[in-house]
Amino acid sequence: MESYHYQHKVNYYETDKMGVTHHSNYTRFMEEARISMLEEMGYGYEKMEAEGVISPVMAITTEFKKTTTYPDVIDIEVKVAELLNFKIKFDYRMKVGEQLVCHATSLHCFLSREGRPIVMADRFPELVGILSEMLITK
């Protein structure tokens, strides 16, 4: 798998007084796409948390290119920008049709419930293999 695609239809309540999708929603869209992707891979947050692994967000970057409105359908392409022992950086390209509307990244670490770093290749080698296939090569 080189990338994962997720679609989100903008809801009326996600827009502001100007009728534009409020910027805070894009972080939610990223999370929806990432969680859906991991669940399809068989490694949803529920499974990882049951095995004692949490994955908090360390950083988010967002570049808005064009506004979206209700009822636009946003195609969110997810790739892996960086994959390290304890961290992963996801890359999100959000489009309406062929128009890029937002480019974003999210950086996550992998920790035990006690807050200790976890080497994902040791804990979930199959998942790391799948994610490696999605790595953006420059």
Cβ partners under 8 Å of residue 106, min gap 6: 30, 34, 57, 59, 60, 89, 90, 92
| Dihedral sign (CA 63, 65, 70, 72) | negative
Six-digit token pair at 66?
A: 């064009």
| C-alpha to C-alpha distance for 130 and 128, rounded to whole angstroms | 5
Enumerate the H helices of the chain as residue ranges.
25-40, 45-50, 120-123, 125-133
Q: Catalytic residue among 16, 75, 91, 122, which? A: 16
- Residue 91: active-site member: no
Cβ partners under 8 Å of residue 5, min gap 6: 75, 76, 77, 78
Q: Which residues are catalytic?
A: 16
